[in-house]
């Protein structure tokens, strides 16, 4: 009786875990096909769904083919799946904590402590720009940075982003022009226009600060909320520790897609930048 109950419980856990992960990636698959992300990523979503669903559907056949190896492999698979679900939940919760640190909260703290931003460097991370017109995500980052720079009038700003293959100007050039348009003094803005990844954003910004003999007391990185944990880790890896300031995503669907991809980018960061660095 106990063995039968145990088998049913294990099966229920497998089905529940497969359903949760598959639903998570099914939504992502639909959004990829709708144009919210690269369509090639829909193949990745399909692959994940297949890995989760097929072992449940063909449970009996696998048990017969694998023989004595079935139960140890099944146990490992179940544990890894549960750990994956837990890590995704923690990741989403952690992003939520980062998202509370926005320009308004920094402005309130600056007012309370009479902080004029002296010795502070605000680094704005680039994103897609259509010529000199920032894309929706980049515009939100720049608006957040402008609010922060207004609250810290003695802070300087580094806009960081190179020119992508689908862009006509470097992101940093567009970003600098936008900040000047909304009233930020051009003398406060430094443009780092060679980077093409988050790690390069940080490394090249550090080089720019050294080149200009700028020794910051405090560095605040501004980007979309989902991007912040990766920035925090990489800034420490490359010895330019940053506080972070969260900008919003253009809409909830964009946020969801970005979060799915960012989790994968974060895992890659831990494997490549942290372990191999």
Give which of 126, 133, 120, 148 is closest to 193, Cα–Cα: 126
* DSSP code, position 69: G
Per-residue pLDDT at 27:
96
pLDDT recorded at residue 6? 74
Does the pLDDT value for residue 240 go beyond 90? yes
Q: Any idea which residue has 């039968």 for tokens?
A: 4
pTM of the complete model: 0.86
Query: Distance between CA 161 and CA 126 in Å, rounded?
Result: 5
Q: What is the DSSP string of 97-153?
A: HHHT--HHHHHHHHHHTT---TTEEEEEE---EETTEE-HHHHHHHHHHHHHHHHST
pLDDT digits (tens, 9 = 90+) for 183-210: 999 999 999 999 999 999 999 999 999 9
Strand order in the sheet with 218-224: 189-192, 156-160, 120-125, 218-224, 243-247
Q: Are 126 and 201 in contact (CB under 8 A)?
A: yes
HSE-up of 114 (CA within 13 Å, CB side)?
0
Looking at per-residue pLDDT, the higher value among 116 and 97 belongs to 116
The Cα–Cα gap between 262 and 198 comes to: 12
Say how far apart CA 25 and CA 184 lie, in whole Å: 42
Average pLDDT over residues 252-260: 93
Q: What per-residue confidence (pLDDT) applies to 276?
A: 58
C-alpha dist (Å) from residue 5 to 8, 9, 16: 5, 6, 16
Q: How many helices (H) and strands (E) does the chain have?
A: 10, 7
Chain segment 134-158, per-residue pLDDT in tens: 999 999 999 999 999 999 999 999 9
């Amino acid at each position: 009786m106990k063995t039968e109950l145990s088998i049913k419980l294990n099966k229920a856990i497998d089905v529940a875990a497969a359903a949760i992960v598959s639903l998570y990636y099914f939504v992502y698959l639909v959004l990829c096909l709708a144009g919210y992300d690269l369509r090639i990523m829909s193949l990745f979503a399909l692959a994940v769904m297949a890995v989760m669903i097929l072992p449940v559907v063909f449970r009996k056949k696998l048990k017969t083919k694998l023989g004595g190896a079935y139960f140890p492999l099944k146990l490992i698979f179940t544990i890894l799946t549960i750990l994956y679900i837990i890590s995704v939940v923690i990741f989403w919760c952690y992003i939520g904590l980062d998202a509370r640190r926005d320009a308004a909260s920094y402005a309130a703290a600056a007012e309370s402590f009479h902080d004029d931003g002296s010795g502070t460097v605000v680094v704005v991370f680039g994103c897609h720009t259509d010529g000199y017109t920032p894309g929706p995500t980049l515009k939100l980052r720049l608006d957040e940075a402008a609010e922060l720079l207004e609250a810290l009038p003695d802070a300087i700003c580094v806009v960081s982003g190179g020119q992508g293959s689908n862009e006509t100007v470097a992101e940093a050039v567009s970003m600098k022009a936008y900040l000047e348009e909304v009233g930020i003094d051009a003398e406060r803005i430094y443009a780092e226009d060679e980077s093409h990844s988050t790690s390069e954003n940080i490394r090249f910004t550090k080089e720019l600060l050294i080149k200009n003999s700028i020794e910051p007391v405090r560095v605040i990185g501004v980007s979309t909320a989902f991007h912040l944990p990766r920035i925090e880790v990489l800034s420490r890896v490359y010895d330019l520790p940053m506080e972070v300031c969260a900008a919003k995503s253009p809409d909830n669907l964009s946020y969801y897609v970005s979060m799915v991809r960012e989790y994968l980018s974060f895992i890659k960061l831990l494997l490549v930048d942290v372990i191999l660095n």
